[in-house]
Amino acid sequence: MGEPSPLSERERSFTWRDRDRLVRFGAGALDEAPTVLAAHGFEHYALLTTSRGLERAPALAGAAGVVVEVPAGTVPEAAAAVRPQVGGRPLVALGGGRAIDSAKAIGAADRLRVAAVPTTLSGAELTGIHRLPAGVERAALVRPTLVIADPELMASQPMPGLAASAMNALAHAAEALYTPLANPVAELAALRAAGLIAGALAGASGGDARALESPASARAPAREPLALGSVLAAYALDSTAIAIHHVVCQTLARTAGTPHAETNAVMLPHTLALVARREHPALRRLAAALGDPHCEPAAVPRLVARLAWLAGPTRLGDLGANVSALDAVSDAALRRPELAHTPDPPGRDELRSMLDAAL
């Protein structure tokens, strides 16, 4: 894996209308945000955000009807806690996955419009994947109808958190390739995303992350390819649904309390190793996107592991998980219907073996 291929002018700045959704991507998009929001009916909105979001984009707070900081905790509890403060206003989420998913949760529960201004590479702004506020059992899931994606803001986390967020985005691209709903449109987006993200991370490490003294010694990755890769990967995953990787990572976060992005970084080499053993043909194309000259599926886990090292922890134990939690994680994952989207879905023994190997 070498330096990322340069973005074309059309990739660096664009406005994308996708049915009832508008995506504005490019440098300077954040400066345009108040005008774009007002032009699309987001006035006197409720701004759901974090302290880092407010620091990065204070102008959005000035135009808001109310500013609400999303508390720590799971999305159902966080969304339920701030829902009364929204007061029926349209929602603008400024933050990472938790802030955006909380806005989507409230928007779904109360039938409110949602806009998103991402500050990480979570991809939440492009998907209709989210939970509901605690106490709400049924509601139609929503996607933000307006997305303002500024690469400088999306990739503004310091390392190694930025690398962990990028590995989460890479996982979106990878998983979109092998579910039953995989399709040529999603595949084209996912493979371009994988190449952009892997190239940017490899460029930050000089080509071999494990040769660095520590993840903190890596150069800052190029932000534009990471941001565009994140957008494309999230679009692809939203088209194809999730399978083993996201089932396991979501279950670890909920059951073992491990942090979301870092869990994705740790688990991705292991979940891809499981899929590679099934010789799924899409992994040949993923291997090529990651730079393997022989397009071998077996090379994919190794290539991904070299990048994952940039995110810091490489074992679940480093994230606070312990062996006593793995039985509960295995049992909960096996109950998830999305696990059936995995090629030749694993049984309990194979799933537990994979988790043991990651511990």
Give the chain's radius of gyration (CA, Å).
19
4 occurs within a structural domain? no
**Dihedral sign, CA of 307, 311, 317, 321?**
negative
Q: Of 102, 125, 113, 111, which Cα lies nearest the Cα of 16? A: 125
Residues 105 and 170 in one domain: no
Please tell me the distance from the alpha carbon of residue 226 to that of residue 152, in angstroms, as a whole number.
10
pLDDT, position 26? 97
Residues 228 and 144 in one domain: no
Residues 299 and 193 in one domain: yes
pLDDT, position 215? 66
Residues 107 and 15 in one domain: yes
pLDDT, position 208? 58
Which positions ≥6 away from 213 have C-beta within 8 Å?
A: none
Please tell me the distance from the alpha carbon of residue 2 to that of residue 206, in angstroms, as a whole number.
8
pLDDT, position 203? 87
Ranges of residues in the chain with a pLDDT under 70 are 1-5, 206-217
pLDDT, position 220? 81
What distance lies between CA 165 and its chain's CA centroid?
7
**Dihedral sign, CA of 330, 334, 335, 336?**
positive
Q: Of 246, 277, 254, 250, which Cα lies nearest the Cα of 350? A: 277
Q: What is the CATH number of the domain that holds 142?
A: 3.40.50.1970
The structure's pTM equals: 0.95
For the record, the structure tokens of 145 come out as 């109808």
pLDDT in tens, 26-48: 999 999 999 999 999 999 999 99
Residues 123 and 140 in one domain: yes
pLDDT, position 171? 98
Residues 189 and 309 in one domain: yes
pLDDT, position 219? 79
Residues 172 and 287 in one domain: yes
Residues 125 and 229 in one domain: no
DSSP letter, residue 2: -
Domain interval for residue 69: 9-154
pLDDT, position 161? 95
- Please say whether the beta carbons of 231 and 238 come within 8 A: no
Please tell me the distance from the alpha carbon of residue 71 to that of residue 269, in angstroms, as a whole number.
31
DSSP letter, residue 292: -
Burial of 344 (0-12, 13-18, 19+ CB in 10 A): exposed
3 occurs within a structural domain? no
pLDDT, position 78? 97
